[in-house]
Amino acid sequence: MSRIADMVVVLRKRAYREQDALLLLFSQHHGKISAVARGARSVKGRLTASTEPLAVARMELYQGRSSLMTVTEAELVSLNAGVRRDLGRTGRAAILADAVDELTSDLDAAPGVYDTLVAALVSLGSDRDPTPVYLHALWRLLGAAGLKPEFDRCQQCGAPWTAPPWFWRGGAGPVDRACHRAGDSPLLPGALQWLRLMDSQTDPAELGRVQAAPAVYAVLDQQARDFLIYHVGRLPRAFRFWDAVAPLAAAPRLKGLAAAPTSKGMTV
């Protein structure tokens, strides 16, 4: 039997018994935790708000004889309400939560995962363009899981980059023209430049500060998906939700934001 007190992000909340909820949490110091929250689906339950999906809370958990932990106390820190204001933000946040689930093991506090996820939720809830925030966070999460390739040289022969075009080979990462073979997908020079710039930014608060063209974002998104499938064996479910809502989320307002970098931003 043990007790844990930690900061957590609620990755998932499911109905359980009459008014209880089954939670999947990612905690700052203990990694991924499955827990029951009693009464967390009743309107006036004291745990209801702090166990909403994507909420950040300080929780106390207790493990008795069951393999599941039980939430005994929860203090809401942030609902991340800004994330829910449009589909573009909600869909991306859901992908990041799913990716954290897929890329981490129970009770393994992979360094960098909690900080990246919390910073991504804050940035997605702000006025920042959600696309680069989401892509930057997703690539950081891949890095925290030990899956990110190096971006400064060909992953096949080790030579530093000379001239474009570059290509991307499934699990290996970027390769140069000399090493590419049929089936490797083209990697736009801007995409490689963006990945290298992102790699050099270590402050989670700077997520998504570097902007790029929509074509570059599309390549970065596809490479991240291919990479996840290669390493995890499947695409997290939230990608399918996103693919269904993306046409609705691509409202003119969002396109306008993407085309106008903030004064603090950069464009590759």
Which member of 27, 156, 211, 223 binds Zn ion (CB under 5 A)?
Answer: 156
Tokens of 2: 């043990």
Residue placing its CB nearer to Zn ion in the complex, 26 or 166: 166
192 counts as binding Zn ion under rule CB under 5 A: no
CB of 81: closest distance to Zn ion in angstroms?
Answer: 47
Q: How far is the CB of 166 from Zn ion (least distance, A)?
A: 10
* Span near Zn ion by CB under 5 A; candidates 52-60, 178-186, 200-208, 216-224: 178-186
Give min distance, CB of 85 to Zn ion, in A: 45
Candidate residues 157, 215, 259, 260; the one interacting with Zn ion per rule CB under 5 A: 157
Q: Taking phi first (over 0 means left), then psi (-120 to 50 degrees means alpha), and beta for anything else, what does residue 11 get?
A: alpha
Report if residue 260 touches Zn ion, rule: CB under 5 A: no
- Binding segment toward Zn ion, per CB under 5 A, in 28-36, 73-81, 148-156, 251-259: 148-156
179 forms part of the interface with Zn ion (CB under 5 A):
yes
Q: Tell me the closest approach of the beta carbon of residue 181 to Zn ion, in angstroms.
A: 11
- Give the binding-site size for Zn ion (rule: CB under 5 A): 5
CB of residue 188 to Zn ion, shortest distance in Å: 18
Q: Of 72-80, 153-161, 191-199, 209-217, which part binds Zn ion (CB under 5 A)?
A: 153-161
Sole window of 11-19, 67-75, 137-145, 171-179 interacting with Zn ion (rule: CB under 5 A):
171-179
Cα dist from 237 to 240, 243, 244, whole Å: 6, 10, 11
| Nearest to Zn ion of 20, 176 (CB atom) | 176
Instruction: Tell me the two tokens of residue 265.
Output: 């931003």
Are 219 and 187 in contact by the 8 Å Cβ rule? The answer is: yes
Beta bridge partners of 186: 167
Q: Which is nearer to Zn ion, 6 or 176 (CB)?
A: 176
Q: In this structure, which amino acid lies at residue 184?
A: D
Q: Which one of 99, 119, 138, 154 is in contact with Zn ion (CB under 5 A)? A: 154
Closer residue to Zn ion (CB): 141 or 179 = 179
Q: Using CB under 5 A, pick the residue from 176, 209, 211, 238 that binds Zn ion.
A: 176
Give the interface with Zn ion as residue ranges (CB under 5 A): 154, 156-157, 176, 179
